[in-house]
């Protein structure tokens, strides 16, 4: 389980990153990945803060490139999330493939990771890719339910990175589908399985019929336990900063006087349910922000409680767009690059031109 860290401790974690070891080992399940995603997804730390700090340490663009690219995949997916927010903000499903709930894909490394995910809210990127490929390309399920299930458990659950990644594995928008065979899985997960349905060559993989044991769907009604609202104590002379599950930035207008509210909207959690582990992670991080109070309710209820005539401020996020608020920008690696790009590599080329200037 990711720890609750002060911002200074998070920066120590950034300082400890070895970009060379990262580049060499990131695809292995025991590789030197940063595990920063829960903090980045929740807006505690930005991709830009990580990149800037590493450049300040004197690493060259060449050494940093593999990690920088991953940080930029996040910014790229966030930009796509802004464009496709309506399409991707899907309603909840009522059933999911049964093998996800009982960890019975029969690919041992994946089943083991599913069990760990339920405990610690993390799954390595490569295993997420294997899992999505098994679900979509072998078992031929729709991505929506499985994506909601994964999101429910991930401490870093993010509607944009999650949806875009499932679509990427699915070969969306005319791209190639992602396939992995058992040999690849054994190599990157240090396992030795030889008896799975994936024990085939890459030429054979797309041809195999959907494995029977992956077909079954099962009812899924995830439980979401939101906390109670605090008894809000508001200073009517102050503007209000609203935090969300995607913005828990401890440095947001730090040392300035504001009412600070973490707003947990039940209708958002109906569409994007989160496990107890995730809610705990959000609350414990939010509670580190001095003076923060928690409000659980819909916009109308918020408007009844918050009688103040002062400004309501939020950080921009496509799932939290309401007329009642003024919005401030998020922290991007290259803020000027906005909208949709034909591919990640097109985005990367534009970013690297700016960073190399």
Can you tell me which of 2, 46, 105, 161 binds ligand FAD, judged by CB under 6 A?
A: 161
Q: Which helix (H) or strand (E) holds 218?
A: strand 217-219
Closest by Cα among 226, 223, 235 to 262: 226
Site string for ligand FAD, 119-158 (x = CB under 6 A): ------x--xx--x-----------------xx--x-xxx
Using the contact rule CB under 6 A, the part of the chain among 29-37, 229-237, 310-318, 332-340 near ligand FAD is 29-37
Q: Which is nearer to ligand FAD, 128 or 141 (CB)?
A: 128
What is the closest distance, in whole angstroms, from the C-beta atom of residue 302 to ligand FAD in the complex?
26
> What is the C-alpha separation between 332 and 334, in angstroms, rounded?
5
> What is the C-alpha separation between 318 and 271, in angstroms, rounded?
14
Q: Which is nearer to ligand FAD, 36 or 306 (CB)?
A: 36
Q: Which is nearer to ligand FAD, 163 or 229 (CB)?
A: 163
What is the closest distance, in whole angstroms, from the C-beta atom of residue 338 to ligand FAD in the complex?
18
CB within 8 Å of 349: residues ≥ 6 apart:
none
For ligand FAD, the binding residues in 57-96 under the rule CB under 6 A are 70-71, 73-74, 77
What is the closest distance, in whole angstroms, from the C-beta atom of residue 146 to ligand FAD in the complex?
8
What is the closest distance, in whole angstroms, from the C-beta atom of residue 51 to ligand FAD in the complex?
10
The count of C-alpha atoms lying within 13 angstroms of the C-alpha of 17, restricted to the half-sphere facing its C-beta, is: 27
> What is the C-alpha separation between 91 and 202, in angstroms, rounded?
35
Q: Which is nearer to ligand FAD, 70 or 89 (CB)?
A: 70
Using the contact rule CB under 6 A, the part of the chain among 2-10, 33-41, 96-104, 262-270 near ligand FAD is 33-41
What is the closest distance, in whole angstroms, from the C-beta atom of residue 186 to ligand FAD in the complex?
19
Can you tell me which of 165, 229, 244, 265 binds ligand FAD, judged by CB under 6 A?
A: 165
Q: Which is nearer to ligand FAD, 156 or 249 (CB)?
A: 156
- The count of chain residues that interact with ligand FAD, using the rule CB under 6 A, is 28
What is the closest distance, in whole angstroms, from the C-beta atom of residue 21 to ligand FAD in the complex?
11
Closest by Cα among 47, 302, 187 to 312: 302
- Determine contact, residues 259/330, Cβ cutoff 8 Å: no
Question: What is residue 313's three-state secondary structure?
Answer: strand
Alpha-carbon torsion angle 298, 280, 45, 256, nearest 10: 60
What is the closest distance, in whole angstroms, from the C-beta atom of residue 69 to ligand FAD in the complex?
9
> What is the C-alpha separation between 160 and 203, in angstroms, rounded?
32
Q: Does 282 bind ligand FAD (CB under 6 A)?
A: no
Give the CA angle between residues 119, 125, 130 to the nearest 5°. 95
- Determine contact, residues 224/273, Cβ cutoff 8 Å: yes
Q: Which is nearer to ligand FAD, 135 or 259 (CB)?
A: 135
Going by their DSSP bridges, the two strands 95-97 and 217-219 should be labelled as antiparallel
The count of C-alpha atoms lying within 13 angstroms of the C-alpha of 111, restricted to the half-sphere facing its C-beta, is: 13
Site string for ligand FAD, 202-241 (x = CB under 6 A): ----------------------------------------
Q: Which helix (H) or strand (E) holds 259?
A: strand 259-264
> What is the C-alpha separation between 320 and 268, in angstroms, rounded?
9
- Binding residues vs ligand FAD (CB under 6 A): 26, 33-37, 40-41, 70-71, 73-74, 77, 125, 128-129, 132, 150-151, 154, 156-158, 161-162, 165-166, 169
């Amino acid at each position: 389980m990711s720890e609750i860290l002060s911002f200074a401790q998070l920066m120590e974690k950034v300082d400890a990153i070895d970009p060379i070891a990262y580049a060499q080992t990131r695809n292995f399940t025991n590789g030197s990945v940063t595990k920063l995603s829960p903090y980045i997804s929740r807006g505690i730390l930005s991709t830009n803060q990580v990149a800037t700090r590493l450049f300040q340490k004197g690493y060259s663009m060449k050494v940093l490139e593999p990690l920088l690219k991953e940080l930029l995949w996040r910014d790229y997916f966030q930009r796509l999330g802004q464009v496709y927010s309506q399409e991707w903000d899907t309603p909840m499903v009522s059933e999911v493939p049964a093998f996800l709930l009982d960890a019975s894909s029969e690919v041992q490394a994946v089943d083991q990771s599913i069990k760990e995910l339920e405990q610690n809210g993390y799954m390595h990127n490569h295993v997420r890719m294997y899992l999505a490929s098994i679900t979509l390309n072998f078992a031929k399920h729709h991505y929506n339910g499985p994506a909601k299930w994964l999101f429910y458990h991930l401490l870093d659950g993010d509607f944009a990175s999650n949806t875009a990644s499932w679509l990427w594995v699915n070969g969306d928008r005319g791209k190639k589908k992602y396939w992995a065979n058992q040999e690849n899985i054994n190599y990157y997960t240090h396992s030795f399985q030889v008896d799975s349905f994936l024990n085939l060559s890459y030429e054979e993989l797309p041809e195999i019929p959907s494995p029977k044991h992956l077909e079954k769907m099962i009812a899924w009604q995830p439980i979401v336990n939101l906390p109670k609202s605090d008894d809000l104590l508001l200073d009517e002379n102050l503007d209000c900063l609203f935090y969300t599950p995607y913005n828990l930035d401890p440095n947001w207008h730090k040392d300035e006087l504001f009412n600070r509210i973490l707003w947990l909207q039940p209708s958002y959690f109906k569409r994007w349910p989160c496990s107890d582990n995730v809610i705990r992670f959000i609350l414990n991080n939010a509670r580190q922000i001095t003076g923060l109070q928690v409000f659980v309710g819909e916009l109308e209820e918020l408007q009844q409680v918050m009688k103040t005539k002062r400004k309501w401020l939020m950080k921009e996020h496509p799932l939290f767009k309401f007329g009642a608020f003024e919005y401030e920008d998020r922290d991007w690696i290259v803020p000027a690059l906005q909208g949709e790009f034909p591919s990640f590599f097109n985005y990367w080329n534009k970013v690297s031109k700016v960073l190399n200037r």
